[in-house]
Structure 1
Amino acid sequence: MRIFKKSILVFALLFVLSFSPLFSLADSVNYPLSIIDNTGTIVNILQEPQRIISTSPENTEILFALGLKDKIVGITNYCNFPEETKNIEKIGEMSPLNLEKIVSLKPDFILAYAGFQLQEIPRLRKLGFNVLVIEPLTIKETLKSIKMVATVCGIPEKGNILLEDLSQRVDKIKTEVSKLAISNRPKVFIGGTYETIYTPGEGTLFNELITLSGGENIAASLPGWVKISPEFVAEAEPEIIIIPIGAMNPGEESKVKENISNRPGWSNIPAIKTQSIFIVNEDLFYRAGPRLVDGLELLYEIFHK
């Protein structure tokens, strides 16, 4: 009964907050500001952040895209874009977070990412830090997260400009794809050079990007990032193979293509026969930030140009 009452109370509070002008993502910001992050936590921002730490690459890219680079005092070792990130103090790994290093940088705002950091975030809040957690799972949620960050940081107008540009680019691709016949949407396999094959299925950002750009993901009916067999790929007969490379899946382009082309049992796959194998930057598809739209445009070019 206590749990039930608590749930009702939380629901009621979220309902009120979501309709209150104080908590809306409006075009002007009045501090103190209270906002609900992606974990459903109410975060109270007393004043405009001046010293920001980002605990993930996608968050860092959002901050840079919003023109906040001069306020960033700490980022992770994996934050490698844009080039200016090399001049910013590193806090270490994405997990476990180096709390001692974070404390030493005296941030007044921490932009965190959910997932494996969720267990560490309460410790940051216990230390008195303002922590906003985002974990967008779709392009739409990514755009909302960008707007949220812009609002919290006191620059909603810059957020609006960025969102308008990104939204227009997405809509342009959607319009072009809507004109395509189903038969003109190529079957696509996303893979790597590892012996064990993991590919993005339903509910992943990558799958959404493939669909929006006018492709047919051979693993679209499978949930999440899923392990599949070489036989599954051969039977699906993809017309295009996309191999993301980067920190998570390193490789030299020519060697990656050779490895894929010579995989046992794959010689009759249409994409292998036509050498429709494309090596792409994994960061454009794995990071829920502004460059997702770059990834969307790249896939459209590959599929239809």
Structure 2
Amino acid sequence: MAYAAGMGEQLVAVSAWSDYPPEAKKLEQVASWQGINLERILALKPDLILAWREGNPQRPLEQIANFSIPIVYLDAKTVDDIPASLRQLAIYSRHPEQAERAATNFQQGIGELQHAGKTHNATPLRVFLQFGTQPLFTSSKATLQSQIVSLCGAENIFSDSPVPWPQVSREQVLRREPQAIIVGGAPERIASVQAFWQPQLAVPVITVNEDWFSRSGPRLLLAAQQICSQLAELRPTLSSAK
């Protein structure tokens, strides 16, 4: 997100798993799922902290705030939040025009997919968003991933889950009769996913770039384009089979 907003040259450190673009891997890592290295962050004397509430424990962030270091929270929960976050970062970027361009391009791309999705038949395809196998997880309508599926003219079969990332059983999935399965990974993963569900469930498996699909940044548009194009190819066959 920061690089897309033109802030790459301003970054002094990152969190673990910050690997895009490649330049991000060269920066010092000061945070991970295990916590935040507060001492090191203070030593770097940043002018600004970019944080994600759900990805960091709140107490260390409160400690940082006590040192009068501003914190900008990037908590994209909807597709519309992504361009909004880019425009928020434009205020701090040395290249605000880059942030605005990224926000506009994202909105235009999503708008095109929404328009294309509305041209399909009124009955959405039922899809299962699969994350892992043992245990088996999926997502609800409260997630960006489910929203992407919706704009592609499909319906997440677990959209009604009261929790964002529910663990589900094989039997629950079979009862909801998905017409297709979406998983993160390369196309080579299709065979193993199909083998996992056979013989009870024999439906097409759609793969999407895992990095694009799992991160709440501008590359989510690329994931949406991948999913929408594959669903569009499958739709005539799946619709006639209902």
**TM band (smaller chain):** 0.7 to 0.9
Counterpart position of 1:63? 2
Count of residues in correspondence between the two structures: 231
Whether the 8 Å contact between 1:238 and 1:270 is mirrored in structure 2 is no
How far apart are the structure 2 equivalents of 1:299 and 1:253?
Answer: 12
Runs of 4+ in 1 over 6 A off after TM superposition: none
User: Structure 2 regions of 5+ residues with no counterpart?
Assistant: 234-242
Confirm whether residue 230 of structure 1 aligns to residue 173 of structure 2: no
Write the mapping of 1:105-116 to structure 2, written as runs, cut at 5 A: 105-115=44-54, 116=56
How far apart are the structure 2 equivalents of 1:141 and 1:229?
Answer: 32
How far apart are the structure 1 equivalents of 2:86 and 2:34?
Answer: 23
Which residue type is aligned with residue 278 of structure 1? I
How far apart are the structure 1 equivalents of 2:110 and 2:207?
Answer: 22
User: Structure 1 regions of 5+ residues with no counterpart?
Assistant: 1-61, 246-251
Whether the 8 Å contact between 1:193 and 1:259 is mirrored in structure 2 is no
| Secondary structure of the corresponding residue to residue 138 of structure 2 | strand
Confirm whether residue 169 of structure 1 aligns to residue 109 of structure 2: yes
Deviations 1:51-72 (A, max 9, x none): xxxxxxxxxxx11112221111
Aligned-residue identity in percent: 23
TM-score when scaled to structure 2? Answer: 0.87
Structure 1 residue 155: Cα displacement: 4.3
How far apart are the structure 1 equivalents of 2:57 and 2:80?
Answer: 22
Structure index of larger Rg:
1
Which residue type is aligned with residue 151 of structure 2? L
| Secondary structure of the corresponding residue to residue 190 of structure 1 | strand
TM-score when scaled to structure 1? Answer: 0.70
Write the mapping of 1:144-155 to structure 2, written as runs, cut at 5 A: 144-153=84-93, 155=95
Structure 1 residue 111: Cα displacement: 0.7
Structure 1 residue 253: Cα displacement: 6.0
Q: Name the CA shift for 1:117/1:134 in 2 (closer, same or farther; >3 Å).
A: farther
Write the mapping of 1:61-210 to structure 2, written as runs, cut at 5 A: 62-115=1-54, 116-153=56-93, 155-183=95-123, 185-210=124-149
Structure 1 residue 194: Cα displacement: 2.7
Q: Name the CA shift for 1:206/1:169 in 2 (closer, same or farther; >3 Å).
A: same
Counterpart position of 1:262? 195
Whether the 8 Å contact between 1:284 and 1:294 is mirrored in structure 2 is yes
RMSD of equivalent CA atoms:
2.0
How far apart are the structure 2 equivalents of 1:259 and 1:192?
Answer: 13
